[in-house]
Amino acid sequence: MAAEKVLRMNPADHEISYANNSFYQKEVLMKVRPIVEEAITYMLKKIGVPTCMKVVDMGCASGPNTFQAISHVIDTVHGLCEQQGLKLPEFEVLLNDLPENDFNSVFKSIPDFYKQNGDLVQERSFIGGVAGSFYHRLFPSTSLHFVHSSNGLHWLSKLPVRLENNKGNICMARSSPPNIFKAYANQFWEDFTNFLSSRSKEIVRQGCMLLTFMVRRNPNPSHEHHCLELLAKSLLDLVAQGIVKEADVDSFNLPIYPPCKEEVVDIVEKEGSFEIKQLQVFEMDIDPLSRDEKVRNKEFYMKMGNNIANTFGAGLEPILCGHFGDAILDELFRKFASHEADDPNRSMHQIVNLVVSLIKK
């Protein structure tokens, strides 16, 4: 099945919806706010304030985070304009995700967004949706000023080829054979290059792009712990119980690839359309809700495990369901939560992120 058909977050009315299980993604947004502000400040200094600033959020999903990101962009521009006595621009905001995304839920949230942001924003910002893969062209030439994408670009456009020998794993993992690393890296190279060259045609000169996505710590992927290994482990538990066939696990791989920082820099430089203004790697607890708890007892870890499982569930259930059927999902995520709770390795409870701020040459 084409990636477009299976890569989507759970819809907003689903029990474990992305809308209600995206605190981690919200924290990532909070973390990169200063870099967004810097990027916009730099851009407006270079190109001036356009009459209408066209802003895109790529991989918007169906939850509230896209509106948080957008309102932060609008606020930042407003702040700068007020500071410098400049006329506020209008904003054309386009929210993008794959055609299977729950756009109906996104659109139903727009009236609330306006209510929360007041008359000035309502009068001057115009919001729409654009469905399609960001690995292709989606917008007219030289039309965008600011492109934002959070938590999307580690999703590949499709599964790499020749993953047959990745047995017992569900994506690139420490125990994967070397050809698996190569296959995933090649697909990421192709996809990220396509992403950059598509945006390159769409973004105005000196326009700006702010990308945040999952990366790994180590250039060598066989040194990397990854929390999805615990999901693979949970699937193997179900194999041991006779609930899932071993062959089904062996033939299942996720189109997810966390590159290392060096790969990202390399691809941006080789593609050639963008200059890197800022690049940072940072770690983030998958369950930010439980981070501040004082008592770290069994109950605490179970709650954390559940929250982590729900965060992944909102994104992974559709694709897992497409391969294994929905009957196993509850049990699978119960096991996943329990493995997360039991795991003493703190790095298993964190995701490494890269944020990069790019300027169109």
Nearer to a second copy, 50 or 168 (CB): 50
Nearer to a second copy, 57 or 224 (CB): 57
Say if CB 87 and CB 42 are below 8 A apart. no
| 149 φ/ψ angles, rounded to the nearest 5 degrees | -150, 125
Count of positions on this chain that bind a second copy (CB under 8 A): 30
- Tell me the Ramachandran region of residue 215: left when phi exceeds 0, alpha when psi lies from -120 to 50, beta otherwise: beta
Closest distance between a second copy and the C-beta of residue 56, in Å? 10
Q: How far apart are CA 328 and CA 73, in angstroms?
A: 41
Range in contact with a second copy (rule: CB under 8 A) among 37-45, 89-97, 225-233, 281-289: 89-97
Q: Which positions from 123 through 182 interact with a second copy, judged by CB under 8 A?
A: 123, 126-132, 137-141, 143
Closest distance between a second copy and the C-beta of residue 50, in Å? 10
Closest distance between a second copy and the C-beta of residue 141, in Å? 6
Say if CB 161 and CB 127 are below 8 A apart. no
Nearer to a second copy, 129 or 168 (CB): 129
Residue for token digits 């000169």? 205
Q: Which positions from 17 through 56 interact with a second copy, judged by CB under 8 A?
A: 51-52
Q: How far apart are CA 201 and CA 275, in angstroms?
A: 15
Closest distance between a second copy and the C-beta of residue 335, in Å? 32
Q: Which positions from 93 through 112 interact with a second copy, judged by CB under 8 A?
A: 94, 99-100, 102-104, 107-108, 110-111
Q: Is 121 a residue that touches a second copy (CB under 8 A)?
A: no
Helix (H, G, I), strand (E, B) or coil at 107: helix
Q: Which residues have CB under 8 Å from 155's CB, separation 6+?
A: 7, 59, 255, 256
Q: How far apart are CA 210 and CA 55, in angstroms?
A: 11
Q: How far apart are CA 61 and CA 7, in angstroms?
A: 11
Q: Is 115 a residue that touches a second copy (CB under 8 A)?
A: no
Range in contact with a second copy (rule: CB under 8 A) among 88-96, 157-165, 179-187, 313-321: 88-96
**Residue from the set 37, 38, 75, 92 that interacts with a second copy by CB under 8 A:** 92
Closest distance between a second copy and the C-beta of residue 319, in Å? 18
Range in contact with a second copy (rule: CB under 8 A) among 80-88, 90-98, 206-214, 345-353: 90-98
Nearer to a second copy, 89 or 288 (CB): 89
Nearer to a second copy, 54 or 335 (CB): 54
Nearest C-alpha neighbor of 228 from the set 163, 311, 105: 311
Nearest C-alpha neighbor of 143 from the set 198, 88, 66, 195: 198
The H or E element containing residue 197 is: helix 178-202
Q: How far apart are CA 336 and CA 257, in angstroms?
A: 20
Closest distance between a second copy and the C-beta of residue 52, in Å? 4
Q: Which residues have CB under 8 Å from 83's CB, separation 6+?
A: none
The residues binding a second copy (CB under 8 A) are 4, 51-52, 90-92, 94, 99-100, 102-104, 107-108, 110-111, 123, 126-132, 137-141, 143
